[in-house]
Amino acid sequence: MPNSPLLDLVDQRKFKELFRDHLYWSNPDQPSLTVKVDEVTYTLEQVAGFKGLRVWYCAVLPPKRVQRLIDEQVRTSSTEERLVIFADEHEQAWRWPRRAQLGSANAKLVLHGYKVGSDDRRLARQLNAVKIGFNEQLTIVDMLARMRVAFDHEAETASAQAARMMGALYAELERSRWDERNATLLLARLLFLWFADDTGMWRKTIQGEAPALFQMFVENHTSAETFVTDLAALFEVLDTEEGKRPKGTPPELDAFRYVNGGLFNEPMQMGSLTLAFRDQVLEAGEFDWSIISPAVFGSMFQTVKDKKARRAAGEHYTTEESILKTIEPLFLTELRLRLENARGDQGQLTKLHNDLGRLRIMDPACGCGNFLIVAYRELRALEMDLLLARRELDLKNKDIAHVQQSFDITSELKVSLDHFYGIEIEEWPARIAETAMLLVDHQANLRMQDDFGIVPDRLPIKVAPTIVHANALRHDWESVVPPNDDVIIVGNPPFLGQYTKNPEQTADVKRIWGANYNGYLDYVTCWYALAIKYYGKHSGRFAFVSTNSISQGEATEFLWRPIFDTGWRCRFAHRSFQWTTETADGAAVHVSIIGFDKRTDNVPKATLWTYPEGGAGIGTPHEVANINAYLLPAPRVFVSSVSKPLSALLPKVDYGSKPTDNGKLVPKSNDLAAVTEIRTDPIASRYLRRFVNADELLYDKERWCLWLEGVTPQVIASSPVLSARVAAVREFRLKSTKAATVKKAATAHLFDERRQPSTSYLAIPRHVGETREFFTSKRMPPEIICGDANFMVEDPDGFALGVLSSTMFILWMRAIGGRLKSDLRFSNTFVYNSFPLPVLSDQRRSALVAAAAQLTAARAQFPAKSLADLYELGRIPEPVLEAHTAIDKVIDAAFGVEDGATVEARQRLMLRRYAALTKQLDDAALFDLDGASDD
């Protein structure tokens, strides 16, 4: 694809023509500049300008350090507002001094590298962004705003860039055989130093620009060969009080301030470093660390650990969006509303401020600390707004001089780092969490500098968060922070389902849940159990990001009943939505966010966020009277698995037949040679039957099996094909580690489990897509063998088809059933057996059978369409929809569904009926959608 005309001019280094003739900037107004760096002279030509903003061009490409020194001389000689382009015939460096966003610290010299001949769309977009329209009347402020939008691009890609650099550094440390503890400590120290450089942390006053001490130290006073000892010397100085440093400490080291805290005084073994490590540290120093978002820390962690390892630990790193979805409804929104209502009332502002000072935030699975980081940042911002409101009141009521003398902002701060606590099982994220909290504190202080012109001096570090490196499921939470009503627990504990927990994790779940243990409880539920144990009789609040399975399926009761029984209510919930993380290979899971408190007055009202089917898109909030265990605005009812249907009208559902044959009785769907072999054998071909698993059922795929029920050994022996295949099944089963399977080797010609009915039956897939409007099951003749990827039920007249094809049944599945990601999961003992089908009169039963027959006939009108095609969302053929309407007419009438009833109303109606059938009606009556009881 050809370059844009603008990039062609860039390639040719025709910068005057580019800016004046194509971007419509003004002619230069300054003569050329000559500057000297390291005894080398450089000439810079001004190629264009706009009201004091100038573009300079240097016809060579010196090293990055030299570029910065040249830029500094350009700034002092000409103007602070400038774009400097360094270019040779192969590469270019476009340098723009991005003004710090978080206070008046250093201006970071942003680098946009460009290779001649590349199709750099980003640079083309940047240039178009600063083009001046023919009729535009721009001020210098307008143009500076455009330049900052165009060239302050680091903010848009901070997470990815920081993650890449930290990952590269970690890889170099691995090559040098650094262990994880020392590698993580070193990277945490480097992160602190870069951030200190870019946010002016080294200075003692707010006046003037602070030097980038660490970057200058690395550039000018270290070498690749001595970098280990150079860094060790720096770390020792940072851990020594300035008045106690040895005489003769080099000035480039003595310029650093004493840091204190655990970051630099913890013992550390400095191993060897590769020669490339120093270069990568220098490259990272070019990045502007002051603009990183809290989410970058989780991203860095993801970069240095492989995906398989993260999955084994159940780690899923939380985006800032999801953190805010958690902490805003749990406490932030309420606090912000209190602030708005308190404006103008000194007493209420003081009360709110004291309440802020009592809050304690704990994340017992803190990872890299993102929840603590964002919570601290938001509470500090809230406190700043409160202090500004108090100052406004003081200005109204007192003279300005008195206010300036009496309002000492640094002594007024009540939101403190030491009010934040975390528990983390791995050292790397725990270390990053500690460091990140120090950095976000400095960010908050820079904002205070903008608002009040004063900032607390945090060096040396005296106040820090408590991050405990321990297994939260075995560590006493009370030893981290004593429980009281002002402790708020938040976090994103690890997700591990029934089949992905290792033995140690399973043992933890069993120990924590004790007699209430259910094998389907996800690992994340341990944090819920420990939270309610931690609070005891205290109120408090807690909220977790969790896999959506905790509110689906039969395990729901085992988690939620003890929560409700100990006096907690669901304060808010985000129903299932698609999870995203900060990295491209983020976890492919569906989650819910759920928060609890002990408010008995239902103030504030519970808030339920619902999402489109599939969990994509933006959630819609609804104020409701209560939220039940299935995240529905419906009665507080628990559905349990039962061995037989609650309704005597429903026939028993079972699994299909299971072959356990290694593909010998049921060839794989793509094994055409095997089917041909069977068909060409005159004996074996007699026993070839159509076979239907879920894929064959939903997509009309053709598959075959050998069904040898009642076939004698003599017949099998007379067929080379049968005898070979049966022998192979026997051998396969004998090698099994399961005794029951080995025993079945004696009947190797038969399916391991056989449940094939002798009459017409309904084949029921285990899962259907989340967007299905109706459940897609299908009646089959007994000659077609149903596999165990389906359920099945004898259905000679179509009654079961009618029930399962009703709107009420699929809404029952959506309400209480489990899911595979977001797909609906059918269960015979849980979903089907619990379906609260009312008693049907003979007349209604006959009507339902007739409607089911109508559905079968309607589907038959479209022989080329599979079930999946027929039920594609928004494309169901009219005859099929009419048949479902006929089915719904019967089932809705039996349930007493009112015309125009919503999904929630239908689900609430079924839950009430289920509660009555299982004697839970008294509990359910207390929690209806509108708060009214049934009395």
The H or E element containing residue 41 is strand 40-50
- The answer, yes or no, to whether residue 763 has pLDDT greater than 90, is yes
Confirm if 773 and 805 have CB atoms less than 8 A apart. no
Determine the average pLDDT of the residues in 775-802: 95
Q: What pLDDT is attached to residue 844?
A: 96
pLDDT band at 497 (very low <50, low <70, confident <90, very high): low
With tokens 């310029």, the residue in question is 255
- Top-confidence residue, 488 or 919: 488
3-state secondary structure of 409: helix
Grouping H, G, I as helix, E, B as strand and the rest as coil, residue 289 is helix
Eight-class DSSP state of 332: I
What does R_g of the chain's alpha carbons equal in angstroms? 35
Quick one: pLDDT at residue 365? 92
- Degrees (nearest 5) of the Cα angle 871, 876, 880? 100
Segment 906-917 shows an average pLDDT of 92
- Terminal alpha carbon distance of the chain: 74
pLDDT value at 520 more than 90: no
Is the pLDDT confidence value at 206 over 50? no
Count CB-CB contacts under 10 A for residue 841: 10
Strand partners, 221: none
Average pLDDT estimate for 702-708: 95
pLDDT beyond 60 at 685? yes
Q: Is 400 exposed, middle or buried (0-12, 13-18, 19+ CB in 10 A)?
A: exposed
Q: Output the DSSP codes for 115-166.
A: ETT---HHHHHHHHHTPPPTT----HHHHHHHHHHHH-GGGGGHHHHHHHHH
Adjacent-strand bridge partners of 457: none
Specify the pLDDT at position 19.
92
Both tokens of 635, joined, read 């009665």
Say what percent of the chain tops pLDDT 70.
85
Nearest to 298 by CA among 363, 202, 381: 363
Helical segments of 48-139, H only: 64-77, 121-129
Residue 45 has pLDDT above 50, yes or no: yes
Residue 157 CB neighbours (<10 A): 11
For residue 361, give the nearest of 420, 414, 415 by alpha carbon.
420
Q: What would the pLDDT profile of 330-373 be if each residue is shown by its tens digit?
A: 999 999 999 999 998 999 999 999 999 999 999 999 988 889 99
- 575 CB contacts (<8 Å, ≥6 apart)? 548, 592, 608, 609, 610, 611, 619, 631
Q: Which one has a higher pLDDT value, 791 or 582?
A: 791
Query: Would you state the pLDDT for residue 474?
Result: 94
Residue 548 has pLDDT above 90, yes or no: no
Q: What is the pLDDT of residue 454?
A: 64
Mean pLDDT of the chain: 85
**HEC secondary structure over 553-617:** CCCHHHHHHHHHHCCCEEEEEEEEEECCCCCCCCCCCEEEEEEEECCCCCCCCEEEEECCCCCCC
Partners of 85 in the β-ladder: 57, 94
φ and ψ of 109, to 5 deg: -85, 100
What pLDDT, on a 0 to 100 scale, did the predictor assign at position 283?
A: 86
CB neighbour list of residue 279: distance below 8 Å, 6 or more residues apart: 224
DSSP-derived letter for residue 908 is H
Q: Which residue has the higher pLDDT, 33 or 580?
A: 33
Q: Would you call 461 exposed, middle or buried from its count of C-beta atoms within 10 A (0-12, 13-18, 19+)?
A: middle
Residue 145 vs residue 877, higher pLDDT: 877
Average pLDDT over residues 479-493: 96
Cα distances from 666 to residues 654, 705, 726, 753, 820, in angstroms, run: 20, 4, 11, 13, 26
Q: pLDDT (tens digit, 9 = 90+) per residue, 593-621?
A: 999 999 988 788 999 999 886 666 788 99
Q: pTM of whole model > 0.85?
A: no
Tokens of 521: 């409880």
Q: Per-residue pLDDT for 405 more than 80?
A: no
Read off the pLDDT of each residue in 218-247 and give the average, rounded to a whole number. Answer: 91
**Confidence at residue 567, expressed as pLDDT on a 0 to 100 scale:** 94
**Scanning the structure block, which residue is given the tokens 């780092």?**
417
- The string of pLDDT tens digits covering residues 272-329 is 998 899 999 998 888 777 777 655 665 555 555 544 444 444 455 567 788 999 999 9
Least confident of 519-523, 651-655, 726-730: 519-523
Token digits for 528?
């819920």
Largest CA distance in the chain: 111
pLDDT of 555 strictly over 70:
yes
Contact present, 815 and 910 (Cβ < 8 Å): yes
Is the pLDDT at 760 greater than 70? The verdict is yes
Judging by DSSP bridges, how do beta strands 590-597 and 541-547 pair with one another?
Answer: antiparallel
pLDDT of residue 132: 87
CA distances from 356 to 95, 360, 379, 449 (A): 43, 9, 8, 21
Closest CA to 799 of 612, 908, 648: 648
- Positive or negative, the CA dihedral 144, 149, 154, 159 is positive
User: Is the per-residue pLDDT at 428 higher than 90?
Assistant: no
The whole-number pLDDT of residue 818 equals 83
Task: Using DSSP, state whether 787 is helix, strand or coil.
Answer: strand
pLDDT per position as a tens digit, 564-599: 999 999 999 999 887 665 444 444 577 899 999 999
| Secondary element (H or E) of residue 321 | helix 320-327
pLDDT of 308:
46
Is 488 a residue whose pLDDT tops 90? yes
**53-58 vs 82-87, strand pairing mode:** parallel
Residue pLDDT, tens place only, 153-198: 444 455 667 777 887 888 899 899 998 888 888 988 898 898 888 8
